[in-house]
Structure 1
Amino acid sequence: MAVYVHLPWCVAKCPYCDFNSHRAPRVLPERAYVDALLADWRFTATAEDRPITSVFIGGGTPSLFSAAAIGEILAALDAGPGLAADCEITLEANPGTTEYGRFVDLAAVGINRVSLGIQSFDTACLSRLGRIHGRAEALTAIDAVRSAGIDQLNCDLMFGLPGQDLAGGLADIDTLLAIDPGHISYYQLTLEPGTPFARHPPDRPDEDTIIDLYEAAAERLDAAGYTQYEVSAWGRNHVCRHNRHYWRFGDYLAIGAGAHAKCTGLDGRIARTARQRWPAGYMHSAGTPQAVVETRFLSTDDARFEALLNGLRLREGLSRTDYESRTGLLWADLQAHLAPAIEDGLVVCDEIGVRASPRGWYLLDSILSDLA
């Protein structure tokens, strides 16, 4: 079992972001929000007895909250059903919002993995993205995580940025590889519907430049010992257990404003739920059924497609054991469903599992569109 905790506030809302994040008030309602999370957890976890193998505290900008608040949340999770002895506990942090000595305090309350939203080391690019940090703050944040003794570090890096050329994009990769964080999430800037960037698109590199940049960056990552184990994830000294659990179609509980969960009931039905997205409404209703504003039970077709949507993101794909145990569906039926993609050489589906072929790996969007 995995757990996601959502802390929804940011200092400023980036123009490309479509996550459930909100500009922080002058005084953050930390106490009221933590109380809401604790009530939500008591309501959510009453029937759960599986140990928690990973926790991801995301946002928003969780590093706006004090280490004491984070520790209180983790203590509640540990009280029931309990954190596994080797539980991976990740906190997202943004370089522009962290008092760097706080990482020592975060490590003391149980944080053993940090995901830093670096995005770029080019201060001009960062400004065009609406980020509130620059190159110096990014480098300082990385040093602070390491100085705190947190040895599992992920750095997010984006490409295809406004004003970025091939040389600039590769300079970002070279800077990060020289730092060698151990895990890198490398993904292209996309213009998500409803965001300011979607309404007023910035000038970005052309498609050929983006392809050239990605291919050259991938070669450098590979040469530096980073293995691409998922579409946008590259690991050298670890993989992200929490995200891999998602991609393997595992169950997870979730608390916080707008948090989404996936759980399988004793009857085998898979439910996806969502909580109120507005922080005030969430804090008012947390701990009651009114906090859950959407419950959707997956049909057979939904379960099959969502398992593939997640599992094919992994280089290793989805094992037969995970597919059958987590969807309740027959392997033979999946093989029949995938027959056209198998015949086209895009997907491999054998007795071990299902995965994209080397050619299919670069055509995942097209494959999934055909399977929907």
Structure 2
Amino acid sequence: MTHDRSASPLIFGGAAQSPRAALPVLPPLALYIHIPWCVRKCPYCDFNSHTASPVLPEEEYVDALLADLDQDLHAVYGRELSSIFFGGGTPSLFSAAALGRLLEGVEQRIPFAHDIEITLEANPGTFEQEKFVAYRALGINRLSIGIQSFQQAKLEALGRIHNGDEAVRAAGMARQAGFDNFNLDLMHGLPDQSLEDALSDLRQAIALKPTHLSWYQLTLEPNTVFWNQPPTLPEDDTLWDIQEAGQALLAEHGYAQYEVSAYAQPGRPARHNLNYWSFGDFIGIGAGAHGKLSHPDGRIVRTWKTRLPKDYLNPAKSFQAGEKALTNDEMPFEFLMNALRLTEGVESRLYPERTGLPLDTLAEARREAEQSGLLQVEPSRLAATERGQLFLNDLLQKFLT
């Protein structure tokens, strides 16, 4: 999912598309590129990642990514790319030469905005100074570094390949390589974690002065080792104490919470993820990648690509595994499950602009959500209250039809 991890897109089944008004303007366009290989699969991870062989098929995979992109170009409609996100897996396993050829091929097909944000996910165990200097020279201008914890026992429990010292060095190496904009991914609610353990991790992360922190609670996801062999996680009271104390610590150090699990220094929110959460468009290429594309006639289509790398690289198989056009009935939930993750929500006008539906289609559910104290009573914005953010699933249920 995410883009930073908290930002993974969701797919829903459903009926055929209903007619709706043409969109007055197409939303911003982003590109998500999935690199599906890792040194080792972590026991909590439900992303589409696979243990890498000693030699990665870089050339073949770049060729496939560009061919995949060619098949989605019909939905670009003259737009430029506002952001690119290399997610995984561990994209930093790929060489700068391979990523350079890929970026060159992408720009030949779709123009880049002059201030495009290009993010690469990286893990501390893959950091080599020369490689990251080369990444920066390619125009990659933001890193998302998967730390998760600085404490050895916690890292071992999570199956991570790095240690705490390597995590600290990775941030320093990123800055030395020219990255003045980087995110640290950090988890809390880890096996046997105390409040002080969690705050110690957070203090260490803050000391490294990232521009952005993705700080989110470990959850046990189906089809993972942790789901089948669950570790001992902190009690609910401890989890609540960690959340409250951690948010206060982040605010004290100038990291504003702008999304459920995203905190940024002023002017440094992740533009790529903001595009997801404001119901922007994104092409998804690579094994298992998801996309969401709007068309001028009002159709909004979610797509997903062939999941297994061996199938994605097989010329006899299609890149696209499926697509689904969203119906009018699904649109309120689809829009709001993203927008209401933002602490300030979105301007109300964005709903008709991005969905092609009039704002009054939300009226009844909106009133009920406001009366329940879950949605702010603010005509010009769609935003959850503090209580609504705590009970976001309950709030979203009101917009299901």
Q: Which residue of 2 aligns with 1:268?
A: 298
For the pair 1:45 / 2:73, whether they are aligned, the reply is yes
TM-score by length of 2: 0.90
TM-score by length of 1: 0.97
**Matches of residues 29-44 of structure 1 in structure 2 within 5 Å?**
29-44=57-72
Deviation at residue 215 of structure 1 after TM alignment: 0.6
Residue type at the aligned position of 1:260: H
> For the residues of structure 2 that align with 1:362 and 1:285, how far apart are their CA atoms?
46
Q: Which residue of 2 aligns with 1:107?
A: 136
| 8 Å CA contact 1:64, 1:98 repeated in 2 | no
| 8 Å CA contact 2:75, 2:295 repeated in 1 | no
For the pair 1:225 / 2:254, whether they are aligned, the reply is yes
> For the residues of structure 2 that align with 1:197 and 1:361, how far apart are their CA atoms?
27
Q: Which residue of 1 aligns with 2:25?
A: none
Q: Percent identity?
A: 48
Residue type at the aligned position of 1:214: Q
Moved over 3 A (4+): none
Q: Which residue of 2 aligns with 1:355?
A: 383
How many residue pairs were aligned? 370
For the pair 1:74 / 2:131, whether they are aligned, the reply is no
> For the residues of structure 2 that align with 1:208 and 1:343, how far apart are their CA atoms?
28
> For the residues of structure 2 that align with 1:369 and 1:28, how far apart are their CA atoms?
43
For the pair 1:65 / 2:100, whether they are aligned, the reply is no
For the pair 1:95 / 2:121, whether they are aligned, the reply is no
Q: Could you list the per-position Cα deviations for residues 260-298 of structure 1 after superposition, in whole angstroms to 9, with x for gaps in the alignment?
A: 100012321110011100111111249x8x211111010
Alignment partner of 2:195 out of 144, 166, 175: 166
Once structures 1 and 2 are overlaid, which stretch shifts more, 106-115 or 70-79? 70-79
Q: Could you list the per-position Cα deviations for residues 23-65 of structure 1 after superposition, in whole angstroms to 9, with x for gaps in the alignment?
A: 1112111111111111112222245210000000000000000
| 8 Å CA contact 2:75, 2:293 repeated in 1 | no
> For the residues of structure 2 that align with 1:333 and 1:266, how far apart are their CA atoms?
20
For the pair 1:335 / 2:363, whether they are aligned, the reply is yes
Q: Which residue of 1 aligns with 2:312?
A: 282
For the pair 1:192 / 2:221, whether they are aligned, the reply is yes
Unaligned runs of 5+ in 2: 1-28
Q: Which residue of 1 aligns with 2:341?
A: 313
Secondary structure of 2:314's partner?
Answer: helix
Once structures 1 and 2 are overlaid, which stretch shifts more, 23-32 or 2-11? 23-32
Residue type at the aligned position of 1:45: L
For the pair 1:371 / 2:383, whether they are aligned, the reply is no
Q: Could you list the per-position Cα deviations for residues 297-352 of structure 1 after superposition, in whole angstroms to 9, with x for gaps in the alignment?
A: 10112121010000000012122222111111111121222221111221025432
> For the residues of structure 2 that align with 1:104 and 1:179, how far apart are their CA atoms?
19
For the pair 1:254 / 2:284, whether they are aligned, the reply is yes
Q: Which residue of 1 aligns with 2:53?
A: 25
> For the residues of structure 2 that align with 1:309 and 1:260, how far apart are their CA atoms?
16
| 8 Å CA contact 1:152, 1:182 repeated in 2 | yes
Q: Which residue of 1 aligns with 2:22?
A: none
Alignment partner of 2:157 out of 121, 128, 135: 128
Q: Could you list the per-position Cα deviations for residues 155-175 of structure 1 after superposition, in whole angstroms to 9, with x for gaps in the alignment?
A: 000001013111111100111
Report the aligned-residue RMSD: 1.3
Deviation at residue 83 of structure 1 after TM alignment: 0.8
> For the residues of structure 2 that align with 1:128 and 1:233, how far apart are their CA atoms?
24
Q: Which residue of 2 aligns with 1:153?
A: 182
Higher RCO (CA 8 Å, separation ≥ 6 residues): 2
Deviation at residue 357 of structure 1 after TM alignment: 1.4
| 8 Å CA contact 1:16, 1:196 repeated in 2 | yes
Residue type at the aligned position of 1:243: N
Once structures 1 and 2 are overlaid, which stretch shifts more, 21-30 or 184-193? 21-30
Residue type at the aligned position of 1:235: A
Residue type at the aligned position of 2:285: I
Unaligned runs of 5+ in 1: none
Once structures 1 and 2 are overlaid, which stretch shifts more, 260-269 or 340-349? 340-349
Deviation at residue 92 of structure 1 after TM alignment: 0.2
Deviation at residue 257 of structure 1 after TM alignment: 0.5
Q: Could you list the per-position Cα deviations for residues 217-236 of structure 1 after superposition, in whole angstroms to 9, with x for gaps in the alignment?
A: 11000011110000000001
> For the residues of structure 1 that align with 2:187 and 2:251, how far apart are their CA atoms?
17
Alignment partner of 1:298 out of 326, 329, 332: 326
Secondary structure of 2:129's partner?
Answer: coil
